């Protein structure tokens, strides 16, 4: 598996966060993230950051993960929170 660089992941997280922020009001009104947001997060590879390499993950450090959480949460706190909850499970 080709492991992306930290910078590539930060860029990816920022791009996702822009789209998540556009849905923030609707998500808040619905009291849940949209299916599109959850699917995009899953497809982005960001959930593999803390996952061990032997299970297909990137096996990166906690500081990198927190940096990605903050990148998303700066634009949409709810999406950042959910990413943190989903992503930490692989640690």
Domain regions of the chain by residue span: 9-88
State the Cα–Cα distance between residues 45 and 31, nearest whole angstrom: 25
State the Cα–Cα distance between residues 47 and 42, nearest whole angstrom: 6
State the Cα–Cα distance between residues 46 and 90, nearest whole angstrom: 11
- Options 1.20.1280.50, 3.30.2350.10, 2.40.160.40, 1.10.540.10; CATH for 9-88 is 1.10.540.10
pLDDT digits (tens, 9 = 90+) for 64-85: 999 999 999 999 999 999 999 9
pLDDT digits (tens, 9 = 90+) for 19-61: 999 999 999 899 999 999 999 999 999 999 999 999 999 999 9
Question: Are the C-beta atoms of residues 44 and 79 closer than 8 Å to each other?
Answer: no
Which pLDDT score is estimated for 91? 84
Length of the chain in terms of residues written:
91
Which pLDDT score is estimated for 90? 84
């Amino acid at each position: 598996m080709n492991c992306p660089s930290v910078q590539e992941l930060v860029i990816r997280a920022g791009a996702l966060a822009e789209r998540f922020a556009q849905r923030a009001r609707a998500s808040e009104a619905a009291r849940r993230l949209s299916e599109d947001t959850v699917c995009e997060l899953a497809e982005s590879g960001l959930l593999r950051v803390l996952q061990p390499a032997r299970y297909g993950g990137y096996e990166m450090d906690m500081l990198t993960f927190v940096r990605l959480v903050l990148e998303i949460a700066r634009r949409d706190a709810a999406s950042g929170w959910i990413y943190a909850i989903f992503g930490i499970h692989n640690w």
